[in-house]
């Protein structure tokens, strides 16, 4: 069975600093996709960034970037220049067929 593990239940960072959220996964598939979703207090789920497993280049979206290590099955999210609006739960997710398998989430607090 495919699994996604986020080992950091909570993290905090000072505004304008950089923070990295960890995610590891397990899958027997060779081609798959990985995602980071953000859930702010409004509870709306918002896609932050996605990575295709067959692409070696790490995905980047403005202040958000990933470190994708396929052999190690690791998919970390780096947030640069953290902003107060980045405060949220962050979920790592893996596709299984048409389904998303989510990790347990990391609650990130950005402090002024």
Partner 1 sequence: DAGVIQSPRHEVTEMGQEVTLRCKPISGHDYLFWYRQTMMRGLELLIYFNNNVPIDDSGMPEDRFSAKMPNASFSTLKIQPSEPRDSAVYFCASSFRTGWGNEQFFGPGTRLTVL
Least separation in angstroms between residue 41's CB and partner 1 is 12
- Considering the rule CB under 8 A, would residue 106 count as an interface residue with partner 1? no
Residues 6+ apart with CB under 8 A from 78: 18, 19, 20, 21, 64, 65, 66, 67
91/30 Cα distance (integer angstroms): 22
Residue 57 or 112: the one with the smaller Cβ distance to partner 1 is 57
Q: Which of residues 52-91 bind partner 1 (CB under 8 A)?
A: 52, 91
Q: Which of residues 38-57 bind partner 1 (CB under 8 A)?
A: 42-47, 50, 52
Q: β-pairing, 64-69 with 3-5?
A: unpaired
39/11 Cα distance (integer angstroms): 15
Q: β-pairing, 88-96 with 106-111?
A: antiparallel
**Which residue in 95, 106, 108, 110 binds partner 1 (CB under 8 A)?**
95
Q: Which of residues 14-43 bind partner 1 (CB under 8 A)?
A: 33, 35, 42-43
- Considering the rule CB under 8 A, would residue 100 count as an interface residue with partner 1? yes
Residues that bind partner 1 in the complex, under the rule CB under 8 A: 33, 35, 42-47, 50, 52, 91, 95, 97-105
């Amino acid at each position: 069975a495919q699994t996604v593990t986020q080992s950091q239940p909570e993290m905090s960072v000072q505004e304008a600093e950089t923070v990295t959220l960890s995610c590891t996964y397990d899958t027997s598939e060779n081609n798959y996709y990985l995602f980071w979703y953000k859930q702010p207090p409004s509870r709306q789920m918002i896609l932050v960034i996605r990575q295709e497993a067959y692409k070696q280049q790490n995905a980047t979206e403005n202040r958000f970037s990933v470190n994708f290590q396929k052999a190690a099955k690791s998919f970390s999210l780096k947030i640069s220049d953290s902003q107060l609006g980045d405060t949220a739960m962050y979920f790592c997710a893996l596709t299984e067929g048409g389904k998303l398998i989510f990790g347990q989430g990391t609650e990130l607090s950005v402090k002024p």
